[in-house]
Amino acid sequence: MVLLVLTTITMGIVAGLFFGFSISVMIGLRGTDDRTFIDVMARINSAILNGWFMFCYVGSVLFGIAAIALHWGERSVLLPLVLAFGAYFISFMLTGRFNVPLNDMLDKTVKRGNITDPAGVRTRYEGPWTRWNHIRSVFNIAAVAFMCWSLLAAGSA
């Protein structure tokens, strides 16, 4: 049960973080000028790479794998657990395929300095990053819902 709780909590934190970007951070940044947007997102992308984020982000995967192994014979718990892990893993892969490369592009642009076309940089970053963030948020929220199902199933088993 402890692994199910840890997986649920860490997945929930990540889902909340991504959802928070969708419903507040990106909306709040819409009204800023291009240079401010670029600067703020570059700072956020740098600041987020810390131990707490990595514990939750990677921990969700590790706790999920361990929980699946531990509950392998419990069909009522295993089904929602595998669905949760699948949804989270899709989000994990989308992040690596889309959001991280966009963050890297922004970081390289900022590190080079002297951005001559801030509107172009923002256009190449903001729309695609936000769209993929919405999508990964949906998968993360689904993962948390499946984890809740697995907790309920474990409690009644």
Q: What is the pTM of this model?
A: 0.94
Q: What are phi and psi of 85, to 5 degrees?
A: -65, -40
Per the prediction, the chain carries an average pLDDT of: 97
Q: How far is residue 140's CA from residue 88's CA, in Å, rounded to a whole number? A: 5
Cα dihedral 20, 89, 134, 147 sign: negative
- Local confidence band at 83 (pLDDT 50, 70, 90 cut-offs): very high
- Residue 114, pLDDT > 90, answer no
pLDDT tens sequence across 30-71: 999 999 999 999 999 999 999 999 999 999 999 999 999 999
Phi, psi of 69 (to 5 degrees): -65, -40
Three-state SS at 99: helix
Residue 157 has pLDDT above 70, yes or no: no
Helices (H), the chain: 2-20, 26-30, 34-47, 51-70, 75-94, 100-112, 118-156
